[in-house]
Chain A
Amino acid sequence: MIASSILSDTPLLLVLAISIVIGLLMVLVFRYTSDQKAIGRAKDQLKAHLLAVRLFQDQLPVVMRAYGRILHGTGNYLRLAFTPLVIVILPITFLIVQLDRYFGWLPLQPAQTFLVEARLEDPGALNQAVLQLPPQLSSSAPAVHVPKDKEVVWRVVAGRAGRYDIHIAAAGQTVSKQVVVAPGLARLSPARLKDNFWERMLTSGEPALADNSPVQSIAINYPAREISFAWMEWNWIILFFVVSLVAGFIFKSVLGIQV
Chain B
Amino acid sequence: MKWLCSRRTRFGPPSAWLFIIALVLLFPQRGEAYAGPGAGFAVLSSFWTIFVAFLYSFYALVTWPIRQLWRMFRQRKAYGKAQVKRVVIVGFDGMDPELANRFMSEGRLPNLARLRDNGTFRPLRTTFPAISPVAWSTFQTGVNPGKHNIYDFLARDLKNYLPFLSSAQISEPKRHLRIGKYSLPLGKPEIKGLRRGTPFWHWLGKAGVFCSIIRVPATFPPERFPGVLLSGMCVPDLKGSQGTFCFCTTRTNSDKFREGGVRIPIERNGAGFCSYIPGPENPLGTGSELQADFKIRTDTNRAQATIKIDSETFTIKVGEYSEWIPVKFKAGMGFTARGICRFYLKEISPEVEVYVTPVNIDPGHPDLPISHPVTYSIYLAKLFGPYATLGLAEDTWALNEEVLDDQAFLAQAYGNHEDRERMFFDALEKTPQGLCACVFDTTDRVQHMFWRYLDKDHPAVRDVPQDQKPRVIQDLYDRMDTLIGRVVQQIDDETLLLVISDHGFRSFNRCMNLNAWLHQNGYLALKDGKSESGDWFEDVDWSRTRAYTMGLNGLYMNIKGREREGIVEAGAEAEALKEELRAKLDGLVDPASGKVGITGMFDCDAVYAGPYVDNAPDLIVGYGEGFRASWDSVMGKVTTAIFEDNLKAWSGDHCVDPRLVPGVLFSNRKIAIEKPAIVDVAPTVMKLFGLELPSYFDGKPWTVVGDRQVA
Q: A52 to chain B: which residues have CB within 8 Å?
A: 379, 430
CB–CB B20/A59 < 8 A: no
Given A70-B53, A253-B10, does the pair A51, B379 have CB atoms closer than 8 Å?
A: yes
- What separation, in Å, do the CA atoms of A61 and B429 have in the docked complex? 10
Chain B residue at minimum C-beta to C-beta distance from A97: B34
Q: Which of A234-255 contact B (CB under 8 A)?
A: 235, 237-238, 240-242, 244-246, 248-250, 252-254
Interface membership of A44, Cβ < 8 A: yes
CB distance from A76 to the nearest CB of B (A): 9
Question: Does A16 belong to the interface (CB within 8 Å)?
Answer: no
Q: Is A149 an interface residue (CB 8 A)?
A: no
- Complex CA–CA separation, A43 to B20 (angstroms): 17
The minimal Cβ–Cβ distance linking A258 to chain B, given in whole angstroms, is 9
Contact B36 A241, beta carbon cutoff 8 Å: yes
Considering the complex, give the chain A residue whose CB is closest to the CB of B312: A256
Stretch in contact with the other chain, from B39-47, B136-144, B190-198, B636-644: B39-47
Contact indicator per residue, chain B 351-388, by CB within 8 Å of chain A (1) or not (0): 00000000000000000000001011011111101000
* Residue from A44, A59, A241 with most neighbouring chain B CB atoms (10 Å): A241
Check B45–A244 contact: CB distance below 8 A.
no
Total A residues in contact with B, Cβ cutoff 8 Å = 60
- Per the 8 Å Cβ criterion, residues 54-80 of A in contact with B are 54-59, 61-63, 67, 70, 73-74, 77-78
Contact in complex: B38, A26 (CB < 8 Å): yes
B21-63 vs A: 1/0 string, CB under 8 Å? 1001100101101111111111111100110110011001000
Type the 1/0 row for A178-208, where 1 means its CB is closer than 8 Å to any CB of B. Answer: 0000000000000000000000001000000
For B44, what are the chain A residues with a Cβ–Cβ distance below 8 Å?
245
In the complex, how many angstroms separate the beta carbon of B576 from the nearest chain A beta carbon? Answer: 57
B175 interface hit (Cβ, 8 Å)? no
Q: Which of A75-129 contact B (CB under 8 A)?
A: 77-78, 81-82, 84-85, 88-89, 92-93, 96-97
* A89-B311 Cα distance, complex, nearest whole Å: 29
Task: Return the CB mask of B298-333 against A: 1 if under 8 Å, else 0.
Answer: 000000000000010000000000000000000000
Could you tell me if B430 and A62 are in contact, using CB atoms closer than 8 angstroms? yes
Indicate if the CB atoms of A244 and B379 lie closer than 8 Å.
Answer: no
Q: Report whether A74 and B42 are in contact in the complex, using a CB–CB cutoff of 8 Å.
A: no
In whole angstroms, how far apart are the Cα atoms of A73 and B46 in the complex? 9
Which A residues lie within 8 Å of B382 (CB)?
44-45, 47-48, 51
Do A93 and B46 form a contact, CB below 8 Å, given A44-B382, A242-B24?
no
Chain B's interface: helix, strand, loop or mixed, by majority?
A: helix
CA distance A245 to B41 in the complex (A): 7
B119 within 8 A of A: no
Alpha-carbon gap, A246 to B385, bound state (A) = 28
Cα A256 to Cα B312 with chains together (Å): 10
The reply to whether the CB of A161 lies closer than 8 angstroms to some CB of chain B is no
Beyond A43-B45, A50-B53, A74-B49, whether A249 also contacts B11 by CB under 8 A is yes
B432 at the interface (CB under 8 A from A): yes
Q: Which chain A residues lie closer than 8 Å to B380 at the CB level? A: 48
Bound-state CA distance A29–B20 (Å) is 21
Instruction: Give A91's nearest chain B residue, CB to CB.
Output: B38
Judge whether B53 and A237 touch: CB under 8 Å: no
Residues of B within 8 A of A241 (CB): 24, 28, 33, 36-37, 40
A88 to B36, CA, bound (A): 9
- Please tell me which one of the listed residues A55, A92, A248, A256 contacts residue B228 in the complex, with CB atoms under 8 A apart: A55
B210 at the interface (CB under 8 A from A): yes
By the criterion CB–CB under 8 Å, are A67 and B57 in contact?
yes
Nearest CB of chain B from residue A40's CB, rounded to whole Å: 10
Assess the A78–B71 pair: CB atoms within 8 A: no
- Contacts A74-B50, A81-B42 given; indicate if A48 touches B36 (C-beta within 8 A): no
Q: Is the CB of A238 within 8 A of B430?
A: no
Q: Which residue of B is nearest A57, CB measured?
A: B60
Nearest CB on A from B138, distance (A):
28
Q: Which residues in A have their C-beta under 8 angstroms from that of B56? A: 50, 53-54, 57
Q: A63-B60, A77-B49 are in contact. List 18 more A-B contacts (CB 8 A).
A: A45-B382, A48-B379, A50-B56, A51-B378, A55-B228, A55-B373, A59-B432, A73-B49, A81-B43, A85-B38, A85-B42, A96-B36, A237-B34, A242-B24, A246-B20, A248-B37, A253-B11, A259-B45
Which A residues are within 8 Å of any B CB, using their own CB?
A: 22-23, 26-27, 29-30, 41, 43-48, 50-59, 61-63, 67, 70, 73-74, 77-78, 81-82, 84-85, 88-89, 92-93, 96-97, 202, 235, 237-238, 240-242, 244-246, 248-250, 252-254, 256, 259
Sampled A-B contacts (15; CB under 8 Å)? A26-B38, A44-B385, A46-B45, A46-B49, A47-B49, A52-B379, A56-B430, A67-B53, A84-B42, A88-B38, A92-B38, A202-B34, A241-B36, A253-B12, A254-B10
